Amino acid sequence: MSRPSLVRIASALLVLSLASVPLASAGTNEAPFPTAAALCHHTAIAEEGFVPIGGIEQWVTIHGAHCDSPVVLFIHGGPGNPLSPFAAKVYGSWESRFTLVQWDQRGAGKTFGHNPGSAQASLSIEQMSQDGIALAQYLTAHLGQKKIILMGSSWGSVLAVHMAMARPDLFYAYVGSSQLVDGEQNASAAYRQALDRARRIGDTGSVTKLVALGAPPWTDPHSFGALRRITRRYEASASTAAPADWWQPAPAYTGTSVQQEEDAGEDYSYLQYVGKDGHGMFWQINLPALGGEFRIPVFLVQGAEDLNTVPPMTKHYFDTLHAPQKAYVLVPHTGHDPNVAMVDAQYRLLIQRVLPLTK
């Protein structure tokens, strides 16, 4: 039995089959099916299903207490680390003010599992950014919104910047967290800071491992993991821990087959990201080459203890940007991975700086 393409749960259960319905053409506001706005009477919205994006069906969830609230589109990191299994626990409290959209990107999570040919295809920043733009077009049409709010974290911050620069007309603002700037320079800065930390605290074991690893660029895909295991341990010692239940997936994501799909997608995306011989997408990241002119407000939230996307590099990039509004928020006791302090800082920024832009 095939799965429905979209399930809407509001005041009553409404099922819309979208598998055979194409997205609206680029550059148009035409909705290919009844918009949520036309059905909206201040009811809650809860949609989960596959939406045709970029030639394949991709997994999208839409949740909010009021179907006419401003829409926040999350662009997850990894790549291959979708937020959809954890979104209710991490961001569920935001649903009283915003409609929250999670998207399992091409090569990740349920999208990877739903498309059997995924593992034979290559991922690219350009294709995935275009996927994100197509999703934003879908959301504005379907939810009856002029624009949406764009949020990207880590790898997702790369896609989000490409999206914001290509189609600023779709977004009220861009909110980035753990902002990646330049692949090779980010890796080099992370390596230097980790080696300096290891020497400073007398962690001879890590010093030995890092010296043996050598400075980037690397051709061995295991090098990234070796560095990240060390930096994650250092971040944990200096950061406030996230609640233990945050990373327990929702029931819909706990089945054996679903978990196998997610693990397979993560492995696939990781190899596409770093490359088997040092030619993966990571090494192609170069946001300064896109220019520093943003036509929408830009707000960056950065963990002070981040040893993966290090604060000095993020701040330098931020200082070069020109935007109608911009702000840089440094969050103490926070590393690269989300925790309560980071999520609270994101929410305050949304309420204080971004929400007024949607009026």
Higher-pLDDT residue of 123 and 116 is: 123
Whether pLDDT at 5 is above 70:
no
Average pLDDT over residues 223-234: 97
Confidence of residue 21 (pLDDT cuts 50, 70, 90): very low
Whether pLDDT at 72 is above 70:
yes
Percent of the chain clearing pLDDT 70 (strictly above): 89
Whether pLDDT at 136 is above 90:
yes
Its pTM stands at 0.89
Q: What is the mean pLDDT of the chain?
A: 90
Region label for 274, one of left (φ > 0), alpha (ψ between -120 and 50) or beta (otherwise): alpha
pLDDT in the model for residue 277: 86
Distances, alpha carbon 345 to alpha carbons 193, 248, 317, in Å: 25, 22, 20
**Rounded to whole angstroms, how far apart are CA atoms 194 and 206?**
9
The per-residue b/e assignment along 221-252, b for 16 or more CB within 10 angstroms, e otherwise, is: bebbeebbebbbebbeeebeebeeeeeebeee
Residue 29 in tokens: 């506001």
Confidence of residue 278 (pLDDT cuts 50, 70, 90): confident
Confidence of residue 300 (pLDDT cuts 50, 70, 90): very high
**Rounded to whole angstroms, how far apart are CA atoms 63 and 151?**
16
pLDDT in the model for residue 182: 98
71-75 and 326-331: which strand pairing? unpaired
